[in-house]
Chain A
Amino acid sequence: MRRTNLLAAALIAPLLLLILGSFLVPVGLTLFRAVADREVVATLPETSAILAGWDGEGLPPEAAFAALAREAGAALQARRIGDLAQRLNFERTGLRTALLRVARAADRLAAPHAQSLPALDARWGERETWLLLQRAGGPTTALYLLRAMDATRTPQGEVRALPVEERLYRTLFLRTLGISLLVTALCVLLAYPVAAAIAGLRPPWSAVALTLVLIPFWSSVLVRSTAWFVLLQREGPVNGALQALGMLEAPVQMLGTRFAVVLALVHVLLPFAILPMHSVMKGLDGTFLRAAASLGANGPQRFLRVWLPLSLPGVLAGGAMVFLLSVGMYTAPALVGGDRDQMVAWFIANFMNRDVNWGMAAALSAYLLAMTGAMVGLVRVLTGGVAQAGLRG
């Protein structure tokens, strides 16, 4: 017994280590990135230490101004000022310029620095700038998590919603949720009758129909999204067909619309809804219906009171699967959607690749994980087990 467990542990350990090292720890580090605040301490250690002792009244002592000038200058020389500049500028636009001005002029700035710095850039004469720098001393910050919910913290430390014109992410999350729920609803509505019909087919035909569902299931999301990208071109086959049928007079712009995104997502995710529903329905023995009939239930009653409740676990599994995949989907919207149709994944990708803003990428990832986690939790509560029916082995 003990020996068996040792063997089992030895067999599991390599994979566990692999998942731990190349998945769980990276995800954990990323989540930590959402709240980490190290740029100021790392680049301006002395300034940071002096500011830590500042009571926040008026302006900080001369030593803080001098340390800032010296450390900023050194960081620019060593070409490691970029992260700090981005960090400060992200919290308050314009601070990049203010910081870089000081860094470039560091050697030439005369004492007292408390006067020469504000002369160089007025922002160094404002208490708010120094309060911000003081608060950015780490080790953690709520900045990114707040910003990802369109909120910010005033220099005085109050949490406040951003002005309406600067808001971005609440709409983004609502859009992601909205598109995902719409796609989930459409998939469930389309999949339910199809799964029921396939479950009711006779042997050779049921296998044929199931294979027709498995073909798109097995082909990649990218290939199928690319297909829609081609089909939905202005001169593409869909426009062509609609014109030929007389339903359109002139070609319509379809790519880059919300319609294209929903269409592609439904197409990509529909098999994930059909398969778990079908596997549940296939197990529903006809004898249940016969028993219900023998007990006096008519057709609609048999459906509503026997078939529907028994098939619900499949609906739940399929719906949850579609929602999970949709809410984190990058490929399909990136290919067929416009800028105003993009979901959370696209923004994460942009923060990583274009803006190189790790804090925001991590904060959005954290919220996305929370959304999927909530969905998995909900399904667990509703079924008492993880919905893995849709994931064929």
Chain B
Amino acid sequence: MTATLVRFDGVSKSYDGRTRVVAELDLEIRRGEFLTLLGPSGSGKTTTLMMLAGFEDPTAGSITLEGARIDTVPPHRRNIGVVFQNYALFPHLSVAENLAFPLSIRRVPRAEIGRRVAAALSMVRLPGLGGRRPQQLSGGQQQRVALARALIFNPPLVLLDEPLGALDKQLREELQAEIRRIHAELGVTMVYVTHDQSEALTLSDRIAVFDQGRIQQLGTAQAVYETPANPFVAGFIGENNRLPATVLDATRLRLAEGSMLATLPHGLQAGAAALVSIRPERVLLEAAEAAPNAAAARVEEVVYLGDHCRLRMAWAGRTDFFAKLPRQQAGQVPQAGTTLRIAIPEAAIIVFPA
């Protein structure tokens, strides 16, 4: 048993022979992990999942499962569970018959089917609903059945294609917890596709951020959020202020408008053009005079959001510099027009080559 369950090797996919939806993808999926493929629509994440499931054929490259090539194996012989966006429960079968479907295909004895269906129903907390038709269930219940159906034949790998996309926020959070619990209980490997970054952060052991058919960064939630590999990742996951700058030396930049910015060592050559990314929540407000990169900034606009305020500020020659003011204690909300003393810790500044 190796740690690698699935391996993509130089996998490309093109529909028209020219534009590649997925381009030279190399990816290792570890046994037992929860991997999320995150990206905007058209980024290649769903195509990647569909190639793994067998519904799309790679134009080039190979995919292996447990060391054996599967990209030429038809989907019904891959033994991979799939949960579809619209649930894809068979409307002509009851819930129990839907769950029994993969078992009867595999000629599991009838008595055992009954036992496993009941166990699966209780695993997704829907005991007693086996006789219902899928149409008689709520969206959340249907998705639980779909999840149970993808797991009931004990596949080593389960693929989930934006399974919570059609549900409202509260139900979505409830099911996220459920999926995490089941993943932990069963230890099955899960690959999850979503365009919702907060869902990815909530669920994943690792996240693969997709854009334009390529993986931009592969890492833990903390890694992709705090040390984004490039401006795309920084922009796609969470908010950030982006400022063009020029490198002065190993720890200093000059912003376009002229002010200086001290940073941690960034490794760029002096004189090179750079792009600075600063998360709004890392901007210190009402800072001391001696704080790093301290400066005066005028509040242009205040949006009250309950747990925090979002401030649009004029700083470094721009009027779209955002900062977050957490509401840790009740008190005055800053008014538009006032000037605040802000500071930016060196560690909060991410420097990309431009």
Contacts and interface: CB of A to CB of B under 8 A. Distances in A.
Whether A and B touch (Cβ < 8 Å) is answered with yes
Report the contact-size class of chain A (Cβ under 8 Å from the partner). Answer: under 10
A3 B57 CA distance: 10
Nearest to A1: B57
Contacts of B57: 1-2
Interface in A1-23: 1-3
Interface in B42-61: 55-57
A3 B74 CA distance: 8
Nearest to B75: A3
B15 to A, nearest CB: 9
Contacts of A2: 57
Nearest to A3: B74
Main secondary structure of the interface of A (DSSP, over half): helix
A6 to B, nearest CB: 11
A2 B71 CA distance: 13
Nearest to B50: A1
A132 B74 CA distance: 67
A1 B21 CA distance: 16
A1 B55 CA distance: 7
A1 B74 CA distance: 10
B54 to A, nearest CB: 9
A2 B56 CA distance: 9
Interface string A223-245: 00000000000000000000000
Nearest to B15: A1
Contacts of B55: 1
A3 B75 CA distance: 10
B57 to A, nearest CB: 6
A169 B60 CA distance: 65
A77 B55 CA distance: 70
Contacts of B74: 3
Contacts of A3: 74
A296 B74 CA distance: 63
Nearest to A4: B55
Nearest to B57: A1
A180 B349 CA distance: 84
Nearest to B74: A3
A101 B57 CA distance: 75
Contacts of A1: 55-57
A2 B54 CA distance: 11
B331 to A, nearest CB: 55
A205 to B, nearest CB: 31
A167 to B, nearest CB: 59
A2 B55 CA distance: 10
A1 B75 CA distance: 11
A369 B4 CA distance: 66
A3 B71 CA distance: 13
A203 to B, nearest CB: 25
Contacts of B56: 1
A1 B50 CA distance: 11
A266 to B, nearest CB: 45
A10 to B, nearest CB: 14
A3 B73 CA distance: 11
A8 to B, nearest CB: 15
Interface string B56-94: 110000000000000000100000000000000000000
B62 to A, nearest CB: 17
B63 to A, nearest CB: 15
B348 to A, nearest CB: 47
A253 B56 CA distance: 72
Nearest to B56: A1
B70 to A, nearest CB: 14
Interface in B125-156: none
Interface string A46-60: 000000000000000
Interface in B21-59: 55-57
A2 B74 CA distance: 11
B192 to A, nearest CB: 24
Nearest to A2: B57
A1 B14 CA distance: 13
B14 to A, nearest CB: 12
A1 B15 CA distance: 11
Nearest to B54: A3
A2 B57 CA distance: 8
B172 to A, nearest CB: 32
B59 to A, nearest CB: 11
A3 B72 CA distance: 10
B186 to A, nearest CB: 30
A1 B59 CA distance: 12
A9 B56 CA distance: 18
Interface in B161-209: none
A361 B74 CA distance: 53
Interface in A187-234: none
A3 B78 CA distance: 15
B72 to A, nearest CB: 10
A3 B56 CA distance: 10
A52 to B, nearest CB: 55
B128 to A, nearest CB: 38
A150 B74 CA distance: 63
A180 to B, nearest CB: 46
A155 B335 CA distance: 108
A372 to B, nearest CB: 39
A117 to B, nearest CB: 72
A1 B58 CA distance: 10
5 contacts: A1-B55, A1-B56, A1-B57, A2-B57, A3-B74
Interface of A: 1-3
Return the 5 tightest CB-CB contacts between A and B, nearest first: A1-B57, A3-B74, A2-B57, A1-B56, A1-B55
